[in-house]
Chain A
Amino acid sequence: MITLTIDGKEVSVPEGSTILEAARALNLKIPTLCYLDLEKIHYKNQVASCRVCVVEVEGRRNLAPACATPVTPGMKVTTNSKRVLLARRKNLELIISNHPFTCLTCAKSTECELQAMAWEYDVQVKYPNGERMHHKKDLSSAALYRDPDKCIMCRRCETMCNEVQTVGALTAFGRGFSTIVAPAEKNLIVDSPCVYCGQCVSVCPTGALTGHSYINHVWNALFDPTKKVVVQVAPAVRVALGEEFGYPAGEIVTGKMVSGLRKLGFDAVFDTTFGADLTIIEEGTEIIQRLTTNENLPILTSCCPGWINFIRYYYPSLEYMPSTTKSPQQMTGAIIKSYYAEKMGWDPKDIVVVSIMPCIAKKYEASLPNQESYGVRDVDYSLTTRELAKILKEGSVDLRYIEEEDFDSPLGESTGAGIIFGATGGVLEAALRSVYELVTKKTLENVDFVALRGLEGAHEAIVDLGDRKIRVAAVSGLGNARQILDKVVSGEEKFDVIEIMACPGGCINGGGQPYTKDRDVVLQKRMESLYQIDREDTLRKSHQNPEVLALYKNFLGEPGGHKAHELLHVENFDASVMSEWEHN
């Protein structure tokens, strides 16, 4: 332990700690902007580029960045001297002098860390006259929106992209004032390995990285009298949306969200969880087939479009491994435009399917050429949880003051198994609940596969299916996915089923979820709420979903059958998609 003094108070911290950590142990707030530590997902950005956290260290000539300066015995630190405060303010002013003054119209307004800090530090810059950087906005993808002029060079996105996700799409290009954080060779994002996981968006302190907004498209559809507009909401949205309306993290707002959506004028409000249950039936069938033939193992889950993009780019030779089932978003869309359309007597061409997702990659997935059935798009527009909050507010809905309502029938019926898709390990757990019963013909009494739960990057378990024991794993975060895939490829490890989610912790931590300053705690709460919904559900196995069973009986036929294949499966490595990923 090392003992030092900060603002006259003595504190002892482990060797190797920084001044910032020591100050936090004393509950002293030193402001930070570029620094970010997300312990649970092993993310740490410590580049000391913004210089907002400077402090005075006795005996040291210049000010020290608290985030990156290790403590030494007997160190005397002052965090709020005149010199420190003036320097912080000046550093902020310098950053702001090269930042657009477009806060009113910025997608990040009121959530921007730079904006908040400018207010806290009473920064008084007028519109500065000095040189400013000008880069083109990158609108090249359907999912991610880059506005490099708003970049403050904190490098948080780079750390996330390269070290946690190991995607390697972003770098600091050039030097000095003209530096830009961009893909290799300053290419557009579509010409980079970006998988659209959106984790960069979730750490960007400003509006330099955001998602593409489809709010106007959705309003246009809602106000078009010739369109039937149907919405579906992913499991992880209902445990996060409340945060945007002042509820504590993890508040379950399912009923209020449904009635809010109905007030906006959607013709039907459905649950993507129905599609999750359907996914389990199709994927479960595929799992059982592959286990029976002992071929193409391990089977990898295919619900997460960020992860599917990752395997497309980095492991194209493993194309036989992922399940061919569409994601719940796409399945729900396909069933709305076929089964439900038929039921209602609607022309599928007149239906607009809007999905509400915790995700940015879902926008990309919805836009893919092969994600359609019988010539119509499965999903027309995908909005994030954040966009949902905005569109509700714009539509005069305040969640706090509205009644709870239920999803519409039939695609509103769901089980607890579908709900837990929103957390890492959930898809695998849901699949195991069904596969176990279908293979062993026995009732699974304890449905909780607790070994697969938790925010840690990887879980594994061995499940006894009577005739054989299968080895399964659930992995979240693409860096962790890479580790396990490398072991599978080298033959070092053997698995039968692996669930992979691009975002650390799964969809509860998706790139489209509400921004949060206290992520480790918030994620835990969101996750606990999903398991609570599951626990309190009377139906907890996907193959017990009565509406899913009715769908097969009245419309689809056999799971994995011809019609199911037409509507619910997709060639993830189809040439129309792969052309974009084969630039290496």
Chain B
Amino acid sequence: MTEQKSPCCTESNPGFIELDAYIDSLKIDPIDPERKEKLIMTLHKAQSIFGYLPAEVQKFIANRFAVSHAHVSGVISFYNYFTTTPKGKTKISICMGTACYVNGANKILQDFENALGIKAGQVTPDGRFSIETLRCVGACVLAPVVLVNDHVYGKVKQGQAEKIIEEYLVEYGEKVEEQ
């Protein structure tokens, strides 16, 4: 699954040049055991460039740090922030913080999952939508809260998911057929 080359990460992608230059600036000494301390900041940088950390990016970093791919993968797997799956063009984030949760955020999440046919952490096959969960966004008064890209939807009710998705489909220039 992770082996498939995504268009973002072919070697001609300018992102690799940027990442390479960034790692150059860290002046990694391949035999210094402390070089691993710079790995996490490099992963942050890489994720900001590519949006996620696919195997090709991990191996690129592993090579530059003279560590194994397994090591890089292990570090990534430890931190929730890092993701190895690409995000959709439209990123739907459902807040699972305490206030949202007690106001039924899990049901809202299910709604979105059912509507798009994917689970939290996944992206639709056409790359348009991804769902993820996050912790408190600081808008508890609006609980339950859904973030779509940077737009906040408050007091989301069950059944509203499809309407929200529709708004973005319209943006893609597609009317949704009435069923």
Contact = CB atoms under 8 A, between A and B. Distances in A.
Interface string B1-35: 01100000000000000000000000000000000
Given A583-B3, A584-B59, A184 B69 contact: yes
Nearest to B63: A584
Given A185-B2, A185-B55, A185-B84, A584 B77 contact: no
B69 to A, nearest CB: 4
11 contacts: A162-B70, A162-B71, A168-B67, A170-B70, A173-B73, A173-B74, A184-B68, A184-B70, A184-B73, A185-B2, A584-B59
Nearest to A170: B70
Counting chain B residues whose Cβ lies within 8 A of the other chain, the interface size class is 10 to 19
A171 interface: yes
B1 to A, nearest CB: 8
B59 A192 contact: no
Given A185-B2, A584-B59, A175 B77 contact: yes
Contacts of A185: 2, 55, 58, 73, 84
A171 B71 contact: yes
Nearest to A192: B70
A106 B145 CA distance: 50
Interface in A154-199: 162, 167-175, 183-185, 187, 191-193
A583 to B, nearest CB: 7
Among B59, B72, B77, chain A packs the most CB atoms within 10 A around the CB of B77
Interface of A: 162, 167-175, 183-185, 187, 191-193, 583-584
A168 B59 contact: no
Among A174, A184, A187, A583, chain B packs the most CB atoms within 10 A around the CB of A184
A187 B2 CA distance: 9
A168 B70 contact: yes
Contacts of B71: 162, 168, 171
- 4 pairs of A and B residues whose beta carbons are closest in the complex: A168-B68, A171-B74, A184-B73, A171-B70
B78 interface: yes
Contacts of A584: 59, 69
B63 to A, nearest CB: 8
Given A173-B77, A175-B78, A184 B3 contact: no
A133 to B, nearest CB: 15
Contact of B68 (A171, A173, A191, A583): A171
A263 B139 CA distance: 79
A403 B55 CA distance: 58
Contacts of A171: 68, 70-71, 73-74
Interface string B157-179: 00000000000000000000000
Nearest to A166: B68
A191 B68 CA distance: 14
B168 to A, nearest CB: 30
A583 B73 CA distance: 15
Contacts of B3: 191, 583
A140 to B, nearest CB: 14
A149 B55 CA distance: 26
Given A162-B68, A162-B70, A174-B77, 20 more contacts: A167-B68, A168-B68, A169-B68, A169-B70, A171-B70, A171-B73, A171-B74, A172-B74, A173-B74, A175-B77, A175-B78, A184-B58, A184-B68, A184-B69, A184-B72, A187-B2, A191-B3, A193-B68, A193-B69, A584-B59
B79 to A, nearest CB: 8
Contacts of A192: 70
Nearest to B2: A185
A183 B70 contact: yes
Nearest to B79: A175
A531 B73 CA distance: 44
Contacts of A193: 68-70
Contacts of B68: 162, 167-169, 171, 184, 193
B29 to A, nearest CB: 15
Nearest to A176: B78
A168 B68 CA distance: 5
A167 B71 CA distance: 11
A193 B73 CA distance: 14
Contacts of B74: 171-173, 184
A175 B70 CA distance: 15
Nearest to A182: B70
Contacts of A172: 74
A300 to B, nearest CB: 23
Contacts of A191: 3
Interface in B39-72: 55, 58-59, 67-72
A175 B79 CA distance: 8
A485 to B, nearest CB: 14
Nearest to A172: B74
B60 to A, nearest CB: 10
Contacts of B78: 174-175
A474 B67 CA distance: 26
